[in-house]
Amino acid sequence: MNVFTLHGTSGSARRGTLRLTHGTVETPAFMPVGTVASVKGIEPRELRELGAEIVLANTYHLWLRPGLDTLTAMGGLHRFMAWDRPILTDSGGFQVFSLESQRTLDDDGVTFRSHIDGSTHRFTPENVVGFEEAIGVDIAMVLDECVSLPATRDAIAASVRRTTLWARRAAAAWRGDRTALFAIVQGGLDEALRAQSAAELIALDLPGYAIGGLSVGESRDDMARFTQFTAALLPTAKPRYLMGVGTVRDLIAGIDAGIDMFDCVYPTRSGRHGRALTRAGEYNIRNAGYTRDARPIDPDCACAVCRTFTRAYISHLFRAQELLGPRLLSYHNLAALAALMDEARAAIAADRWAAFRDATVAASATG
């Protein structure tokens, strides 16, 4: 199954297209996170308006609520959430990391104790892929084991072994008709283990590959270094996905390393907490200096929020605890990253990536 066309490069930065069951995605691309079939505070209509071409949902959370029976009865995840463009689902592998106290692992799979009601749920490589295909997603991630950093070499090696074992089983169970299956390279901050993980997963010849096990406690410099190292190991003709990255600086570093796809809760989580993302850095809209500021969130942003509302008004909404405030700021933050990706694609196509990269990093005071 070939889902990716690489159109060109500028340095290591890549410009491509994903062709999926529910449409095309131009890369590099940022995927808004809709964990439980909802990008928090943002309607599907608004996602389309701000330029999102693909969203991410989470198998663990959808498995617990609303569950497979409801999703299939409602015609699949796309119809359920009224989103007609591509969807990628994480496998629950992140919850292996984030819900460590509520799960047990063995080579067959992972048993979770639900954070909702304490019920137990058994995830295996086979039933996770089966769930993802049954709800009709465009890209399904294999079940993997992600360890928090720092970790011992033995712990990282064990996660690499298990991730490969599970990926092989997932590949054997995958039907391969409407849903593309992506494997996830692990290996922590160990080059030899990263190389081992990549080689074992590449041998499966799956439609795409993700870089996992980063942005989980390591320094920003280590994340950038191991992203670059791992991306160089992956097939040129397959899409490369860096999981869990969403600041301007980290996205630029990822594109510079040859990454095609990104996701993170950061823009919407920041939006809910009053943090605005701009090319000139980030700031807290609650600060007193914005109470009479007639400028838009970002004077250089063309999104609907920046065309319509002032910093003073959005600052007021947060101070008054009005729900519209987090909605508007989340919209802007997602639109800002969508615009960043659009401009990055244009820069790569024109072979001026290095100049765009340097200018964007220089302009960003934080992030």
Element (DSSP H or E) covering residue 81:
helix 77-81
The two three-digit tokens of residue 266, written as one number: 């950061």
What is the Cα–Cα distance from 100 to 348, expressed in whole angstroms?
Answer: 40
Catalytic residue of the set 90, 250, 260, 298? 90
Catalytic residue of the set 138, 144, 260, 263? 263
Catalytic-residue membership of 154: no
Those residues with Cβ within 8 angstroms of residue 262's Cβ, 6 or more apart along the chain or in another chain? 28, 29, 30, 31, 241, 242, 245, 246, 251, 254
Those residues with Cβ within 8 angstroms of residue 274's Cβ, 6 or more apart along the chain or in another chain? 284, 285, 286, 318, 325, 326, 329
Kindly report each contact of residues 305-314 with a partner whose C-beta sits within 8 Å and lies 24 or more positions away, as own/partner: 305/329, 305/331, 305/332, 305/335, 306/332, 311/285, 314/285, 314/290
Is the backbone of residue 294 left (phi > 0), alpha (psi -120 to 50) or beta? Answer: alpha
The two three-digit tokens of residue 347, written as one number: 């820069």
Tokens 């889902």 locate to 3
Distances (CA, A) of 365 to 249, 278, 283: 10, 10, 10
DSSP letter string over 153-186?
Answer: HHHHHHHHHHHHHHHHHHHHH---SSSEEEEEE-
For residue 16, the SS3 value is: strand
What is the Cα–Cα distance from 272 to 266, expressed in whole angstroms?
Answer: 10
Catalytic-residue membership of 108: no
Catalytic residues: 90, 263
